[in-house]
Structure 1
Amino acid sequence: MKVLSALALLVGGAAVGLATVALHSLWWGLLLGVLATAAALWALPPGWWLRTSFGAGWAVMVAYLSVPRPEGDYVISADGQGYLLLGFGVAVLIFSVATLPAPSGRRGRLPG
């Protein structure tokens, strides 16, 4: 069940990332994409199977769309909004990984 939810959140994150890239040239589209992504990341519980898979799907989609197309043009514009979107992608990855819960278990503990 964990793998299925992680896969669904990975695809959902990629869909939100695609929508954010598609609308980032409009100021309200960029704002809507950033707020929707931030709300989803905040609402999902931390963990590899939930928040991190959504954030990874979002960031991978934005990174994939930032590569130049065969025609030589870019999907993400080289202006303030485009750079804000790319910076937010880095922040999504950092937040997703930084909020992972501490590992539990007896590995690494000293006896006594």
Structure 2
Amino acid sequence: MRLLAAVGLLVVGAVTGIAAVAVHDRVWGFVLAAAATVVTTLALPPGWWSRLAFAIGWVAMVGWLTIPRPEGDYLISQDWQGYSVLGIALLLPIVAVGTLPRPRPRDPRTGTP
């Protein structure tokens, strides 16, 4: 069940990343994309299968869309909105990894957490 949730959140993160890149050049689009990304990230419970999966999907898609196109131009603009999208792409995995639950110590007698 966790694997299915992780794959679903990976896809949701990728779709959200595509939408963020598609509308970031308009101020209202950037605000909506940034708010949707931040709120979704913080609303998901911290964990390998939830918040981190969403963040990986979002960052992977934005990173893939950052590569120059064959015409020589970029999908992400070189203005404050574009650099802010790249900044979010840098901060999102830091937040996702930084909020992972701490591992529980194992009981020396039974070997279980």
Same fold by TM-score greater than 0.5: yes
Q: Provide the C-alpha distance between the structure 1 equivalents of 2:41 and 2:82, rounded to a whole number of angstroms.
A: 21
Question: Are 1:60 and 2:60 counterparts?
Answer: yes
- What's the C-alpha RMSD, in Å, of the aligned pairs? 1.1
Q: Provide the C-alpha distance between the structure 2 equivalents of 1:38 and 1:83, rounded to a whole number of angstroms.
A: 16
Q: Provide the C-alpha distance between the structure 2 equivalents of 1:29 and 1:95, rounded to a whole number of angstroms.
A: 23
Deviations 1:56-75 (A, max 9, x none): 10011111101101111100
In the TM superposition, what is the alpha-carbon distance from 1:105 to its structure 2 partner? 3.7
Q: Provide the C-alpha distance between the structure 2 equivalents of 1:27 and 1:93, rounded to a whole number of angstroms.
A: 24
Q: Provide the C-alpha distance between the structure 2 equivalents of 1:5 and 1:105, rounded to a whole number of angstroms.
A: 26
User: Mapping of 1:7-18 within 5 angstroms?
Assistant: 7-18=7-18
Please report the TM-score for the alignment, with normalisation by the length of structure 1: 0.92
Q: Provide the C-alpha distance between the structure 2 equivalents of 1:21 and 1:15, rounded to a whole number of angstroms.
A: 10
In the TM superposition, what is the alpha-carbon distance from 1:94 to its structure 2 partner? 0.7
Q: Provide the C-alpha distance between the structure 1 equivalents of 2:104 and 2:17, rounded to a whole number of angstroms.
A: 32
Give the count of matched residue pairs.
107
Q: Which runs of 5+ in 2 are unaligned?
A: 108-113
User: Mapping of 1:1-80 within 5 angstroms?
Assistant: 1-80=1-80
Q: Provide the C-alpha distance between the structure 1 equivalents of 2:93 and 2:18, rounded to a whole number of angstroms.
A: 16
Name the aligned partner's letter for residue 104 of structure 2: S
Q: Provide the C-alpha distance between the structure 1 equivalents of 2:13 and 2:99, rounded to a whole number of angstroms.
A: 17
Paired position in structure 1 for 2:95:
95
Question: Are 1:85 and 2:85 counterparts?
Answer: yes
Deviations 1:54-106 (A, max 9, x none): 01100111111011011111000111111111001111111111000001242
Q: Provide the C-alpha distance between the structure 2 equivalents of 1:95 and 1:8, rounded to a whole number of angstroms.
A: 20
Q: Provide the C-alpha distance between the structure 1 equivalents of 2:68 and 2:103, rounded to a whole number of angstroms.
A: 39
Percent identity of the aligned residues? 50
